[in-house]
Amino acid sequence: MPEQLALPFIAEIDKEAEKEQVAAKRRNQKAIMASIKERYPMTEQERTELPPGVRLCRFVGDWECEKCPYGYLDHTLSWYFQTKVCLKDFYKAVQGQLRVFRIYNTATREWWEGEAGSAWEACAKAGWDPVSCWVREKTYKGAGGWKSPEDAPVLGKRGDRR
């Protein structure tokens, strides 16, 4: 059986075809995303709630989420309105900013309010055990003021809804 000839230009043709296929797929996905933006525009509530530079999940293509380090996390920004956002955009927009928390200690019946990076960090700053605390976070742009206790993350015995 004779050996096959190795033709170097065939590998180049395959690479070019693969690049063209990827580019065509991207163009198609971008066209789909543009039609989604037209068909399902942002509501007024979403505009007031979102920090600048943050996209809603429905405006983010699947090709971005496939390689995103935050892809496995819950993308809900607000417990009350259930607004889902791109976490990569969100963390870039609020990078280095501290969030304002109001904590109620059920054991001592005391309140604490201050800035922290997370609800757990806020409990630690207050010097309280997270198990006995209710935590409320101030919403963005004053859209709804303080989140109501029903929508706040409950730490400890009732389950962790961070």
pLDDT 10s digits, 50-62:
888 888 888 888 8
Q: Which of 69-73, 117-121, 156-160 has the lowest mean pLDDT?
A: 156-160
In the chain, what are the domain boundaries?
9-41, 42-97, 99-162
CA-nearest of 73, 42, 71 to 56 is 42
User: What single-letter amino acid sits at 112?
Assistant: W
| pLDDT confidence band for 119 (50 / 70 / 90) | confident
Quick check: pTM over 0.75? no
